Amino acid sequence: MINFKTHIGLLKHLPGMHYLEIPQEVVQQLGTLKQRLHCTVNAKVKFQCGLMALGEGKAYISISKKRMQELGVKLEDTVTVKLEKDDSTYGTEMPAEMEELLRQDEEGNRRFLLLKPGMQRYMLNHVGAVKSVQLRVDRAITLIENLKKLPEGKEDFRAMLGLPPR
């Protein structure tokens, strides 16, 4: 576990994307950018995340406007951050609806497990992002059915959502 103070910044190359700056010393303590973490801000809001390189040995964790509102913070505010290693299987919560679908659908489960971890997290977050149980079921089914139609190794987010290619 690592505790430190940092500020909220705004990424220049992604307008509107706020982030928590992770100082070089903290990145060195963690040893690598390639790990999933639990981030707690101001001892109030906890979420799963990963680090992205910021340059000069520093990194960042993106923070949503919704989380900033929950915390009552804004751009350039100083916050207290606690980082802990995330040992969960996927680096994000597995919605019960997706877990049950994967338990019942052998081919869907096989294809899901072949995906890169980031794509797995994307699917889990997409399913878990809605409050309605029925909508979570519908999203899980749509993603898995579309995934099974795609050639192995050629999966992409738009196709899994059922959207036409750009």
Tell me how many helices (H) and strands (E) the chain has: 7, 7
Domain co-membership, 132 together with 113:
yes
161/163 Cα distance (integer angstroms) = 6
Residue 68 shares a structural domain with residue 108: no
At 88 the pLDDT is 85
Tens digits of residue pLDDT in 78-123: 999 999 999 888 888 899 999 999 999 999 999 999 999 889 999 9
pLDDT band at 3 (very low <50, low <70, confident <90, very high): very high
Q: Which helix (H) or strand (E) holds 83?
A: strand 78-85
Q: What is the domain-level CATH number for residue 48?
A: 2.40.30.100
Residue 38 lies in a domain: yes
Residues 72 and 102 in one domain: no
Predicted local confidence at residue 163, as pLDDT: 85
- Computed over every residue of the chain, the mean pLDDT equals 93
Statement to judge: residues 108 and 74 lie in one domain: no
Both 45 and 16 in a single domain?
A: yes
**Are both 15 and 76 inside the same structural domain?**
yes
User: Domain range for residue 50?
Assistant: 2-85
Residue 138: C-alpha distances to residues 12, 77, 102, 147 (Å)? 36, 39, 13, 14
